[in-house]
């Protein structure tokens, strides 16, 4: 494993609009490249321009902490910081990959975010996150913290093939139990499920059941993308060695879509399977409002809830105007409450959407959405 130290120009990434899968307004990559070397990792794709051999080399942004202090210095800002969680992790390198033991960039970042009173959402596959329980608890009692872990299944044997560099799923589930016992909200990102290997109803049910037993507050689900180029070549090479009979099936569903998505019919079927199982286990498929309704701006709260409704509508194969409505609201410059009488002039906002928005503006919640989430 090669470790290359670099001096970065900036560290904090402001999201164009609130990110409704993670509830983050900002994110960051402290490392580029990942020692965990998951076979399906899309960080390997040329799109992300990670230098060097992915999985063999990690770039460490050696000045990240200094940069972060400067970028979070309120005296240097013209506009106030956006409300929402700061995302630590994900992207093109896990923030708790082994190199973090030496550099402690993630730990120092959490301290700064605590000092600056930001809520934090950590996403990782590593049990090393337990090291930082002290600071995560402080963030949580001051504001709020969520610790989420990602999985492709709860099957340790399959994980050893596709996630060779990470603690096995049973250790990750134990980590979730550890944080839940400390009073920290936890999520599971069941993404990606691996086609024809971890996407069967039996596998998905096993994962949801174990997640439920470990106490997770929500599970966010997604299928796997395979972008042509490095990502797909690397994955297919492993498949060839461990599951050669599946190559034909993969060729059937991955047909060169530019985002690497499988065909619609496949995606539809796995989302339906997950939806049925998640409902059976009364598992929220989106981050529940109790974890964010008091920390987002009024406008972002409306945007997130509408985007979540959009997800559920599409899941039921219904036409949905909610995604359009969320986007037009996210682009507004003026406060949404100033527009209560003109909501219908916004793209995507009809009578039903207007009613939902007015309820959120009035009570900070949507009963319609809550039924979809938990019904």
Stretch that binds ligand SF4, among 31-39, 113-121, 200-208, 231-239 (CB under 6 A): 31-39
Stretch that binds ligand SF4, among 34-42, 133-141, 174-182, 339-347 (CB under 6 A): 34-42
Phi first, then psi: give them for residue 73, nearest 5 degrees.
-75, 110
User: Which residue's entry shows tokens 């060779």?
Assistant: 164
Stretch that binds ligand SF4, among 37-45, 287-295, 299-307, 326-334 (CB under 6 A): 37-45
**Is 221 within 8 Å of 285 (Cβ atoms)?**
yes
**Is 166 within 8 Å of 97 (Cβ atoms)?**
no
169 binds ligand SF4 (CB under 6 A): no
43 binds ligand SF4 (CB under 6 A): yes
Contacts of 241 (CB under 8 A, 6+ apart): none
User: Which residue's entry shows tokens 């960039």?
Assistant: 105
187 binds ligand SF4 (CB under 6 A): no
Which residue, 192 or 284, is less far from ligand SF4 as judged by CB?
192
- Residue from 23, 38, 86, 147 binding ligand SF4 (CB under 6 A): 38
Distance CA 126, CA 256 (A): 32
- Residue from 28, 45, 94, 224 binding ligand SF4 (CB under 6 A): 94
Minimum CB separation of residue 28 from ligand SF4 in Å reads: 14
Which residue, 59 or 346, is less far from ligand SF4 as judged by CB?
59
Which residue, 164 or 335, is less far from ligand SF4 as judged by CB?
164
167 binds ligand SF4 (CB under 6 A): no
SS3 state at 264: helix
Q: How far is CA 254 from CA 204, 232, 234, 242, in A?
A: 21, 10, 15, 19
Which residue, 41 or 83, is less far from ligand SF4 as judged by CB?
41
Distance CA 122, CA 135 (A): 12
Strands 57-61 and 85-89, by their bridges, are unpaired
Q: What are the structure tokens assigned to 70, written together?
A: 């400067």
What crossing angle do the helices spanning 133-142 and 105-115 adopt, rounded to 10°? 20
Which residue, 34 or 301, is less far from ligand SF4 as judged by CB?
34
Which residue, 163 or 310, is less far from ligand SF4 as judged by CB?
163
Alpha helix ranges (H) inside 15-84: 64-71
172 binds ligand SF4 (CB under 6 A): no
37 binds ligand SF4 (CB under 6 A): yes
Stretch that binds ligand SF4, among 33-41, 134-142, 201-209, 297-305 (CB under 6 A): 33-41
Residues that bind ligand SF4 (CB under 6 A): 34, 36-38, 41, 43, 93-94, 125, 166
């Amino acid at each position: 494993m090669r470790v290359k130290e670099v001096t970065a120009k900036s560290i904090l990434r402001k999201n164009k609009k609130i990110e409704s899968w993670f509830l983050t307004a900002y994110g960051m990559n402290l490392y580029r490249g990942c020692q965990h070397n998951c076979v399906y990792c899309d960080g390997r794709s040329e799109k992300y321009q990670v230098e060097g051999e992915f999985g063999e080399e990690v770039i460490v942004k050696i000045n990240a902490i200094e940069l972060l202090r400067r970028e979070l210095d309120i005296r240097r800002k013209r506009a106030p910081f956006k409300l929402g969680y700061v995302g630590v992790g994900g992207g093109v390198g896990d923030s708790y990959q082994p190199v973090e033991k030496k550099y402690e960039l993630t730990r120092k970042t959490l301290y700064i975010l605590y000092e600056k009173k930001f809520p934090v959402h950590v996403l990782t596959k590593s049990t090393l996150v337990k090291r930082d329980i002290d600071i995560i608890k402080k963030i949580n009692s001051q504001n709020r913290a969520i610790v989420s872990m990602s999985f492709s299944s709860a099957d340790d044997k399959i994980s050893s093939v596709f996630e060779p560099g990470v603690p096995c799923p049973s250790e990750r589930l134990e980590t979730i139990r550890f944080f839940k016992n400390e009073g920290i909200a936890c999520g599971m990102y069941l993404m990606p499920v691996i086609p024809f290997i971890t996407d069967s109803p039996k596998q998905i049910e096993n994962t949801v059941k174990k997640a439920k037993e470990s106490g997770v507050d929500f599970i966010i689900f997604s299928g796997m993308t395979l972008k042509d180029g490095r990502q797909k070549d690397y994955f297919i090479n492993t498949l060839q060695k461990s599951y050669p009979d599946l190559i034909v099936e993969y060729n059937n569903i991955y047909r060169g879509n530019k985002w690497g998505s499988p065909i619609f019919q496949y995606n539809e079927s796995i989302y339906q399977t997950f939806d049925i199982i998640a409902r059976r286990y009364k598992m929220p498929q989106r981050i529940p409002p109790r974890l964010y309704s008091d920390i987002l701006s009024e406008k972002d709260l409306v945007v997130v809830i509408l985007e979540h409704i959009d997800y559920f509508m599409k899941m039921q194969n219904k036409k949905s105007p909610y995604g359009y409505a969320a986007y037009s609201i996210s682009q507004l410059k003026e406060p949404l409450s100033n527009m209560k009488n003109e909501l219908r002039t916004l793209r995507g906002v009809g009578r039903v959407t207007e009613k939902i928005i007015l309820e959120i503006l009035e009570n900070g919640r949507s009963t319609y959405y809550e039924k979809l989430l938990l019904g």
